[in-house]
Amino acid sequence: MSQHPRYAIYFAPPADSALYRFGAELIGYDAYSGQSLPFPKGIESDVNGWKHFTADPRKYGFHATLKAPISLVPGKTEGELVAALSDFARMPRAIPVIVPTIRNIGSFIAIVPESPSPALQKLADDCVTVFDDFRAPLLAADRERRNVSALTDRQVAHLDRWGYPYVFEEFRFHMTLAGSLPAEGRAAVTEILRTRFATLKLNSISIDRLALFRQNDASSAFTIISHEPLRAAI
């Protein structure tokens, strides 16, 4: 099993933003406070089994993965990781801006970019490489849980090198709203979420900050322990 605590570098919108409230309330968990949230009015009657379908995203909090969960390699500390994140955020860069839409990714539903963003790809690539010195090697049991037989050769190579299969050309920015849903009801749930999301009238999302999440043990949810705004290049 994974060593704990574990850490992840995610994009998470500001705690008081409409986007964050939308996502956190849908999954029923606030990673800033570490507290459960009531679901939005009507969602449990609109979608039978909503609590079950959001169980997995609820554990991780509303986010988009940039550096997937890691255990710290011996000799590295949480404080050093916090400082490294702060240093990284202060490096001037193009701030990615996406046009958001809601789509299926496999069997789950997420907010994704309407079209690719080179600046976002660069940010994700940098997060994978820059923070890899903090990552403890992947344990054999954790590797097996990835269901390696279902991955492509390229994804397996990424898993073995970087501890996560969906990096670089396999990266897909997504903010999960619902976990694995049965095929027969997926389209209807997607439309329900699109209708709810449309009320926010968000024409764009700036990926302008990073958050460091920590999971204390295997049974606990991730919480935000540090968040840093990104510095825009002049």
The confidence score (pLDDT) of residue 3 equals 84
Task: Calculate mean pLDDT across residues 94-123.
Answer: 97
Q: Is 106 within a domain?
A: yes
Q: Is 191 within a domain?
A: yes
Alpha carbon distance 53, 38 (integer Å): 15
Span 82-93, pLDDT tens digits = 999 999 999 999
How many Cβ atoms sit within 10 Å of the Cβ of residue 75?
8
* Residue 207 predicted with pLDDT over 70: yes
Q: Is 234 within a domain?
A: no
The confidence score (pLDDT) of residue 142 equals 86
Q: Judge contact between 178 and 53, C-beta under 8 A.
A: yes
Bigger pLDDT: 77 or 145?
A: 77
Q: Name the pTM for this structure.
A: 0.96
Mean of pLDDT over the chain: 96
Which of 98-102, 109-113, 136-140 shows the lowest per-residue confidence on average (mean pLDDT)?
Answer: 136-140
Residue type, 140: A
Task: Calculate mean pLDDT across residues 75-80.
Answer: 98
Total domains in the fold of the chain: 1
Banded pLDDT at 206 (limits 50, 70, 90): very high
Whole-number percent of the chain with pLDDT over 70: 100
The confidence score (pLDDT) of residue 153 equals 96
* Residue 1 predicted with pLDDT over 80: no
The confidence score (pLDDT) of residue 145 equals 85
Task: Identify the CA nearest to 133 among candidates 63, 64, 90, 85.
Answer: 85
Span 24-45, pLDDT tens digits = 999 999 999 999 999 999 999 9
Give residue 205's domain range. Answer: 6-229
Give me the CATH number covering residue 63.
3.90.1140.10
Q: Is 56 within a domain?
A: yes
Q: Is 1 within a domain?
A: no
Q: Is 174 within a domain?
A: yes
Span 165-181, pLDDT tens digits = 999 999 999 999 999 99
> Could you tell me the two tokens for 157?
């190579």
- Please name every residue paired with 214 in a beta bridge, in sequence order, or none if there are none: 7, 223
Span 131-171, pLDDT tens digits = 999 999 998 888 888 889 999 999 999 999 999 999 999 99
Sequence-separated (6 or more) residues with CB below 8 Å from residue 76: 133, 134
